A and B are shown apart, each in its own frame.
Chain A
Amino acid sequence: MNVDRRRFLGSAAGMAATAGVAADWLWPRHSVSYRRPRSFVAILNAAEYSEKIETLLMDGLRLFRLNLLGKAILLKPNMVEDLPGPVNTNANIIGAAARCFLRLGATRIVIGEGPGHQRDTELVVQVAGLKPHLADRRIEFVDLNRDELAKVKLKANYSGLGELWLPRSVLDSDFVVSMPKVKTHHWAGVTLSLKNMFGIVPGMKYGWPKNLLHWHGIHESILDICATVPIHFVIADSITAMEGNGPLQGTARELGKIVLADDPVAADATCARLMGFDPLRVQHLSEGGRFLGNLRADRITMLAERAEAPIRPFAVLPDFRYLLARTDL
C-alpha cells in the first residue's frame, strides 16, 4: 500500500514537473535572458563610511574593466524614507560611485529614485545627506516618481501586468547601476539589487506605495521589472546593513562590506550568503537565476574575498526563518 502510494506520488510529481517544463516551453515567462557563462563579484572591506570609500570603490571598479566611455549612467540607490538608521543607501557611497564613474569616462550621471512611501522626495534627499554630492553639474538627481513616463511592454510575464509606465530617465540611460542597502524585508524576505528596482516604478502613476505591484506579487513584479530594465552593475552597501523587521524598522547590523558585481543575481546571491541566507530560498532570486543572471556559486568568480556566511546569520521575522541557510536551521 505504502509502495503504491509512494509510486503514485512519485508519478504525480513527475507529471507536474513535466507539465511545468512543457508550460515553460509552450508559454515562456520571459522573452530575454541576461545570463552569461560567468559573472564577477568583488567583496570590498570597508569598516566605515569615510572619505577613503572613493579610493576603495575606484580600485574595486577597475577590477571589472568596464567600458563606460561616453555613457549616461543611472545610479539607482535605495532611498526610502526620511528616517535615521541604516534605511537608505549611504550618501557617501552614492557620491563616491558617481565621481568614480565620471573618472571612468561616463559623461553624465543621473541619480534616480522614487521613494515608495514618502511623497516628499526632497525631504528624503535632504535627510539622506545626498545634496552635497550633487554639486558637480554632471551629477543630477531625478525624482523618478515624477519623471516623464513612457508605456513599456514588459519582457517577462510573472506578474500578469503586461506593461508598465516607466521613467524616461531610466529608459534613456546606457548603463544602470543598482545600489541597494542590504536589508531584510518584511514582505520579500530581502531587499537587494533586484528588489531595489521597485524604486523606478513611478508614484505619479502607481501611488505611494506602489501598491499595484504588491497586488500582482512582489517577487513576480521584481522579475518583470528587472527583465525589462536590465541592471548592468551592482554596488551594494552592506557596511552597515539592516536585520530583523526591515526595510524600515529593523536594527543595524555591521557587516563592513561593499559588494560589487556585473550581474544582479550574482550580487544578490552573494549578499544573501553574507546574510546567512540560502539564495535559493528567495523566490525572485531562485527564479531570476534562470534568466536574469547567475545564482550558482560555481558560475560566480570572486575577484576579491570569498562570500563567507556570517558567524551569526541575520535576524529575520518568524515568517522568514525558511531563508536561513541549512546549516543554521
Chain B
Amino acid sequence: MTVRSTDGPPTIEDAARQLGVPVVAVDRAFGVVTIDPKQGLYSVQVDAAHLPADAPSDEFSGPFSDPRIEPFGPPRDAPPPDKTST
C-alpha cells in the first residue's frame, strides 16, 4: 500500500491510521519504504486480511501486487514437443 506524508517518512502508526488498519497489520520488518520524497509517497506492506471491507481501492493507494521475481539466467530450455504418434 502507498501512503502519503508531507513531513518526511510517516511512522508505522501513522501509516496504519492512514490506511484504516490495526498497527499489527503493518509489516514492521518491511518498514516504511521511501518511494518519492518529492511527492511525499511512501510504501508499507499490509496483511490484506486486515484491510477494511469498505477500504477504497484506487490506483494511488493500492493494494498493489507483490509478485515473485527471478533472475534471467541461465535460460532453461523448454522440453521438445511430444512427438508421440498414434
Decide whether A and B assemble into one complex: no
